Structure 1
């Protein structure tokens, strides 16, 4: 059920084929699981859309089973999470953890980057890098999302510098736009 919610939220659509391949489900079982989520957990949050051959979240969609944090979604995709989320009642007194700052990423940005990776598309985006902290336009052809242990990046061919680079997802200003490669 958590996978249904995260896929719908971050990808903006949910198709039964994805659940079938991930969990080894039949189409009927995948459809039944979506219906169960849509009935028991988040009533009427997903709408069947024939144009995408699947379900899309309503504009008012709010996650109820997950935090819908970008790391939760990307960790699920990469298989970095386990199902055990144990709570330690008495933490060790001689342990400390440094919390990294939360770098928020818009779902619309992730949706377009993932779509471009899958479709081998080129994106026009507004980006601020460490070397150039002012917002500026970039044309990239993304192919992989990469987790460094601290942050998520998209590995992409940069058409301006004519080389492959890593672009931090949280530094993309707004939803990227797919462009034809000829216009680059």
Structure 2
């Protein structure tokens, strides 16, 4: 999200944020975020390196600055919200405009910047990583070797999709449940080009809940559907469940009823099995 008239201090904070959460920073990455001349971006990188010489090292082959183990938040608080604001993913940070605006788009996932930077690098380079993970089925820490290919923002939580060596299939992993990461360069696991579910697009139709009255249904249509009969999304198959959940759309309208559920998923029976969380 390019930003005009950014002060040098803001760009220095951006450099630190990128180093923390992406593990590297380049002049081109800064130019993606700030409409400044290349010379200014180069000066900013030099200024940060002069101020924190142990925090980054130069990689001449890729023309990038890589984070070192000595990197610590100094100009920033080191929070994931700062990273989201920088790259334009957060619903926060808009209160600095001419009128006050608040958002309920808050993150509940506790993410370590070192883990995120390694995972970000693995996605960028199509590499495998070994993670220490916990799940509801197996809440004790255990190791998984995965080849991640995409990040997923799902309401207040963040996930990572990739192929799991142990499960022998593509899965999503909650970033808040990953306690450690390490490289696993020798592994050769399937990548995004073999993730058929991820590459498949599904049409998800949301309609007013069938138990609403006629006036209530019209109200919901006006609110969500511009007065039409349904809101239709075409999304990647694994995203269907997250989208239905974010709209609080009933999957089983016999059990999930108004006023908690104003919408319902139409044609659940025609959707591929196991792509929706059942109540």
Coarse TM-score class (shorter-chain normalised)? 0.7 to 0.9
What's the counterpart of residue 114 of structure 1?
A: 120
What's the counterpart of residue 76 of structure 2?
A: 66
5+ long unaligned stretches in structure 2: 1-10, 97-103, 191-279
| Residue pair 1:116, 1:178 contacting (<8 A) in 2 also | no
What's the counterpart of residue 15 of structure 1?
A: 26
What's the counterpart of residue 131 of structure 1?
A: 137
What's the counterpart of residue 166 of structure 1?
A: 172
* Offset, 1:155: 1.4
* Offset, 1:45: 6.2
* Offset, 1:19: 1.0
The reply to whether residue 79 of structure 1 matches residue 101 of structure 2 is: no
What's the counterpart of residue 49 of structure 1?
A: 58
5+ long unaligned stretches in structure 1: 87-96
Aligned partner (choices 34, 42, 45) of residue 31 of structure 1: 42
What's the counterpart of residue 264 of structure 2?
A: none
Cα offsets for 1:67-115 (capped at 9, x unmatched): 21123214533532565445xxxxxxxxxx8x876x4322221111111
User: How far apart are the structure 2 equivalents of 1:62 and 1:139?
Assistant: 27
User: How far apart are the structure 1 equivalents of 2:63 and 2:38?
Assistant: 13
* Offset, 1:46: 4.6
User: How far apart are the structure 1 equivalents of 2:165 and 2:56?
Assistant: 38
TM-score by length of 2: 0.51
* Offset, 1:60: 4.5
What is the CA RMSD across the aligned residues, in angstroms?
A: 3.2
Cα 1:49–1:19 change in 2 (3 A) is same
| Residue pair 1:45, 1:58 contacting (<8 A) in 2 also | yes
Question: Structure 1 stretch 17-26 or stretch 74-83: which is displaced more?
Answer: 74-83
TM-score by length of 1: 0.73
* Offset, 1:5: 1.8
Higher Cα Rg, which structure:
2
